[in-house]
């Protein structure tokens, strides 16, 4: 496999995995103390006293027994939480994934190189896809630099789940199928799936050991677009992935039962590197307003997204891009890392391909056609109806006045700044503290993902109160901020 990195990195992507510390079990006393501190800000004096009594009974009673069981479990597992978290947060959840679990939003190629010339969305898609394939190759050849917090290595296992990964529905519990392999582990899938107007196409992204160039990718994408142009829409089988999980699992079983070839198609989609969705909508508005793009990635046409896929790259007709990703195999920061890479590459090349325009003799994309019957069509119709969204509100603006560099110059952590800004905004509107969930990382531990932290603290509330007090001078507010 050819690569486009000029020098080898001194560290391999997964080299620290075996030496990462195990996820510790926090002490019962400390956990309960943190709980009480978080509750106290929102409970009345009577409510808080009752809560303290309940916590004390728990700590001296069943809490002790449960904590000992946790300690025993931690002796036999490198990450005592991993399996529970995956099952409870993702795989056992029965509500539709696409609207309730998946994450998505604008993708690179947005304010950079804007506006595009009319009709160049496929050309831009070919370049974005090419850079994405380079990222896949960096992970496959273990040349993506391992991430660190300072000098502390972070767990990189989730990067294995970014490509060739798909969730498969089960009647009671879903499963994750991951087909990705590092180069030293052997061959792995290298095909893409393109979805357009309810139809499916696939082609290999590698030819003779070389990743297809943007001109070659453009030819493949153009072929799919031309096949669908002016033709009736396909059956839209992918809408089934937006269904309630048990209903989707049963519909999938029926789909396989009527024709074994349907299972082959499902396997092709599941094992693909990722899905490219050719979307006919034009959601872009202004360089600082991502609302429409974000809304379309989360709630757009379900017949051109495979909701269980680890990565759907959505190509809009106006040249903007979005993504929709199943949350089960990895967290948002993994996608952010790839999007940052794509962003840097696109900016560096001015969003253009500057290499050879030659196109090798490669087979055109193959259409994947499901065999369907009346029940499948009825299931698709039901899925589309339940997917209609009327109560989801999205506002997504780009704040451009300043960024994290300015915040750091003031000796503040950007996250602290943003969390306090949200607390103050809520306090100004409601004259009360806002109960807030924030994700914290546990990736410095083996197979760590996320934990919950509560940014609404006593110190934060005191600072908000001071900011709202006209008698409190600026220096006092600044001192309070620095203490936090």
Supply the residues annotated as catalytic: 327
Angle at 226 between CA 222 and CA 228, to 5 degrees: 120
- Please state, in angstroms and rounded to a whole number, the distance separating the CA atoms of residues 343 and 335: 12
Residues counted in the chain: 484
Name which of 268, 330, 317, 280 is nearest 102 in CA terms.
Answer: 330
Q: Which residues pair with 438 in a beta bridge?
A: 453
- Please state, in angstroms and rounded to a whole number, the distance separating the CA atoms of residues 450 and 441: 4
Give me the helices (H) in 319-395, please.
332-348, 374-387
Q: Decide: helix, strand or coil at residue 464.
A: helix
* 87 DSSP assignment: I
Q: Decide: helix, strand or coil at residue 166.
A: strand
Q: Decide: helix, strand or coil at residue 444.
A: coil
Contact 104, 323 (CB under 8 A): yes
- Please state, in angstroms and rounded to a whole number, the distance separating the CA atoms of residues 313 and 132: 10
First to last CA, the chain: 50
- Please state, in angstroms and rounded to a whole number, the distance separating the CA atoms of residues 98 and 244: 10
Query: Which whole-number Å values give the CA distances from 398 to 290, 306, 467, in the listed order?
Result: 7, 28, 25
Name which of 338, 327, 277, 331 is nearest 167 in CA terms.
Answer: 327
254-278: b (≥16 Cβ within 10 Å) or e: ebeeeeeebeebbebbbbbbbbbbb
Name which of 163, 194, 239, 126 is nearest 368 in CA terms.
Answer: 194
The contacts of residue 271 (CB under 8 Å, 6+ apart) are 164, 166, 177, 179, 189, 191
* 289 DSSP assignment: B
Q: Decide: helix, strand or coil at residue 188.
A: coil
Task: Name the maximum alpha-carbon separation found in the chain.
Answer: 77
């Amino acid at each position: 496999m050819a690569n486009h990195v000029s020098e080898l990195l001194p560290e391999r992507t997964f080299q620290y995995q075996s030496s990462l510390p195990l996820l510790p079990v926090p002490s019962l006393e400390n956990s309960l103390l943190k709980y009480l501190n978080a509750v106290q800000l929102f409970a009345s004096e009577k409510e808080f006293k009752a809560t303290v009594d309940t916590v004390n009974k728990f700590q001296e009673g069943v809490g002790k027994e449960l904590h000992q069981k946790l300690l025993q479990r931690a002796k036999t597992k490198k990450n005592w939480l991993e399996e529970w978290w995956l099952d409870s947060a993702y795989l056992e959840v029965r509500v539709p994934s696409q609207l309730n679990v998946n994450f998505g939003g604008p993708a690179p190629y947005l304010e950079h190189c804007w506006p595009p010339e009319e009709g160049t969305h496929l050309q831009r898609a070919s370049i974005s896809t090419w850079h994405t394939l380079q990222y896949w190759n960096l992970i496959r050849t273990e040349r993506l630099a391992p991430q660190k917090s300072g000098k502390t290595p972070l767990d990189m296992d989730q990067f294995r789940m970014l490509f060739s990964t798909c969730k498969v529905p089960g009647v009671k519990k879903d499963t994750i199928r991951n087909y990705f392999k590092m180069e030293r582990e052997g061959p792995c899938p290298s095909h893409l799936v393109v979805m357009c107007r309810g139809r499916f196409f696939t082609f290999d992204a590698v030819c003779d050991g070389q990743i297809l160039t943007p001109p070659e990718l453009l030819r493949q994408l153009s072929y799919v677009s031309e096949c669908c142009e002016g033709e009736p829409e396909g059956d839209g089988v992918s809408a089934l992935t937006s269904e309630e999980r048990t209903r989707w699992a049963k519909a999938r079983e029926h789909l396989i039962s009527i024709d074994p070839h349907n299972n082959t198609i499902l396997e092709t989609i599941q094992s693909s590197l990722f899905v490219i969705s050719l979307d006919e909508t034009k959601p872009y508005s202004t360089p600082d307003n991502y609302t429409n793009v974000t809304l379309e990635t989360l709630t757009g046409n379900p017949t051109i997204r495979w909701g269980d896929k680890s990565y759907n790259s959505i190509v809009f007709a106006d040249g903007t891009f979005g993504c929709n990703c199943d949350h089960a195999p990895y967290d948002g920061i993994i996608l952010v890392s790839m999007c940052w890479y794509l962003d840097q590459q696109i900016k560096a090349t001015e969003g253009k391909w500057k290499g050879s325009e030659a196109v090798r003799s490669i087979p055109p994309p193959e259409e994947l056609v499901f065999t369907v019957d009346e029940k499948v069509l009825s299931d698709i119709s039901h899925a589309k109806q339940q997917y209609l969204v009327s109560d989801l509100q999205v506002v997504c603006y780009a704040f451009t006045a300043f960024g994290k560099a300015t915040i750091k110059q003031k000796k503040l952590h950007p996250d602290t700044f943003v969390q306090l800004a949200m607390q103050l905004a809520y306090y100004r509107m409601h004259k009360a503290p806002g109960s807030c969930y924030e994700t914290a990382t546990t990736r410095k531990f083996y197979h760590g993902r996320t934990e919950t932290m509560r940014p609404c603290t006593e110190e934060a509330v005191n600072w908000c109160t001071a900011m709202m007090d006209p008698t409190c001078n600026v220096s006092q507010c600044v001192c309070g901020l620095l203490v936090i």
